[in-house]
């Protein structure tokens, strides 16, 4: 078996030089095989407030230049034990949401035939629906661990059934989600009515809110999450607005009172040993970012997910 190709050596080529692949990893076309692919979806036609997440993938890549090969928090060198690559961006129609969703689903299925696991950088949260379709086609209904300030189980916006606020309602209706093992984490802020929570529970989700974590602590939150998702095939979907705007200002629909980046990373590390079948990190809108704060947070989230998947592949 050939040795894995890791990031460009920063002692030979300065971090600020060269093409900005994620963590300066090789491109998928430059290696003979790949286990894990990081892929971008530059799409934001499904947003309901501030646009700009179409530029999220490139911003997160630029912000990932300082990532290093060894993850001490997980005691894993992910790029040594798995061949991780940057698979570039999925080109999607910016004018037709239905066409874009179909394109993402086809591309995700095709990429899934080349690699074992995919971590996606969005783009807005609309892309979670086609990604779940691709994952469920391979694994059946999956547990969804959804980190977000918002439920994203609303019905329509202006009559449109597929937007960044509706992907998990559509996924539940299509039978893509395990209704006994799915969970929102970090939700907070005003809703349209209490009926939103009633509908959300019917669609298959429990909630570990930002307020719960504040009151009971991260450890209690982790216990509830792990108990809920169990050992089911698990899809992890992370809207960067789960973080407080102090940690992630560069997003389209910010809400006060969110998680810290440290809390989010700790919760993700607790997923070690779970059967993760895919993941996304979405809603980074660089026009509203400052000093790459949001991009850096998102790049570290992707790094933790890649580390989890690399350890999983090695096992």
Query: Following DSSP, what letter does each residue of 16-54 receive, concatenated?
Result: TSS---GGGPPBGGGSS--SEEEEEE---TT-SS---GG
At 120 the pLDDT is 98
Could you read off the pLDDT of 39-96 as tens digits, one per residue?
999 999 999 999 999 999 999 999 999 999 999 999 999 999 999 999 999 999 999 9
At 315 the pLDDT is 85
Q: Which residues of 247-281 are buried (b: 16+ CB within 10 A; e: fewer)?
A: bbbbbbbbbeebbbbebbbbbbebbeebebbbbbb
**Torsion (CA) 145, 149, 151, 155 in degrees, nearest 10:** -130
Could you read off the pLDDT of 7-16 as tens digits, one per residue?
999 989 999 9
Could you read off the pLDDT of 108-147 as tens digits, one per residue?
999 999 999 999 999 999 999 999 999 999 999 999 999 9
Could you read off the pLDDT of 96-108 as tens digits, one per residue?
999 999 999 999 9
Could you read off the pLDDT of 279-290 as tens digits, one per residue?
999 999 999 999
Res. 1 pLDDT band, cuts 50 70 90 = low
How far apart CA 114 and CA 259 sit, in angstroms, is: 35
Q: What H or E segment, with its residue span, contains residue 119?
A: strand 117-122
- Using CB atoms within 10 Å of the CB of residue 81, give its burial: 0 to 12 exposed, 13 to 18 middle, 19+ buried: middle
Determine how many CB atoms are found less than 10 A away from the CB of residue 27: 13
How far apart CA 242 and CA 234 sit, in angstroms, is: 19
């Amino acid at each position: 078996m050939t040795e894995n190709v890791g990031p460009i050596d920063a002692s030979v080529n300065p971090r600020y030089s060269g093409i900005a692949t994620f963590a300066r990893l090789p491109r998928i076309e430059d290696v003979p095989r790949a286990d894990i692919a990081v892929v971008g979806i530059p799409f934001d036609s499904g947003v309901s407030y501030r646009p700009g997440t179409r530029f999220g993938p490139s911003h997160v890549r630029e912000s990932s230049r300082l990532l290093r090969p060894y993850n001490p928090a997980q005691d894993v060198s992910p790029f040594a034990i798995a061949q991780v690559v940057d698979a570039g961006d999925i080109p999607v129609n910016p004018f037709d949401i239905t066409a874009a969703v179909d394109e993402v689903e086809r591309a995700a299925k095709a990429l899934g035939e080349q690699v074992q696991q995919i971590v996606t950088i969005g783009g807005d949260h609309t892309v979670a629906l086609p990604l779940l379709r691709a994952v469920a086609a391979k694994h059946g209904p999956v547990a969804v661990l959804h980190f977000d300030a918002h439920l994203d189980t609303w019905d329509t916006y202006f009559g449109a059934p597929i937007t960044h606020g509706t992907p998990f309602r559509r996924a539940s209706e299509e039978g893509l989600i395990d209704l006994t093992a799915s969970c929102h984490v970090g939700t907070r802020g005003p809703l349209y009515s209490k009926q939103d929570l009633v509908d959300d529970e019917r669609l298959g989700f429990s909630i570990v809110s930002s307020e719960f974590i504040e009151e009971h602590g991260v450890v209690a939150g982790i216990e509830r999450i792990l108990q809920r998702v169990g050992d089911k095939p698990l899809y992890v979907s992370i809207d960067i607005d789960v973080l407080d705007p102090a940690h992630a200002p560069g997003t389209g629909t910010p809400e006060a009172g969110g998680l810290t980046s440290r809390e989010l990373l700790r919760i993700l590390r607790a997923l070690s040993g779970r059967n993760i079948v895919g993941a996304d990190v979405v809603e980074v809108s660089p026009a509203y970012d400052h000093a790459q704060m949001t991009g850096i947070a998102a790049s570290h989230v992707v790094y933790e997910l890649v580390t989890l998947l690399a350890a999983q592949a090695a096992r």
